[in-house]
Structure 1
Amino acid sequence: MLERVSTWPEEAQEEFVRSVADIESKHLGVYRLSDEERNAVRRGLADMREGRLASDAEVAAVFSRYRE
């Protein structure tokens, strides 16, 4: 396929390069959190520090209730 790309119109080649760059950054690059994601992480860490997370037993009870 890479050999055929050189025969494509220039616009298609540019699109191919953008697509490959997107794939590479998705799988190999450093992920940058959005402000919303960063805030969600902070809330989760605060919940953990303040003991507002369900225990393993509570989580297991919920799952067992819905597996039946």
Structure 2
Amino acid sequence: MTKLLDQALEIARSLPADAQDDIARIVLQLAGAEATSPVVLSEDERAAIAASKEAAARGEFATEAQVQATWVKHGL
């Protein structure tokens, strides 16, 4: 195991169990050990994604303050 991966796992151990599981799923996918089926989106989710893409096309992005507030909200 590389030093960087060991460091990442050590940090992950300090996170809540649900966050650890999310990280584990991502690592398994990247390593090719977990075959996953596509996620089926609801109509609301599809509409939200479409609205986001339209806003991005217009150049409307979150401000630095909004991004920071989101990180704080989620403890990151």
TM-score of the alignment, normalized to the shorter chain, above 0.5: no
The structure carrying a bigger helix percent of its residues is: 1
Q: TM-score normalised by the shorter chain: which range applies? A: 0.3 to 0.5
TM-score normalised according to structure 1 size:
0.40
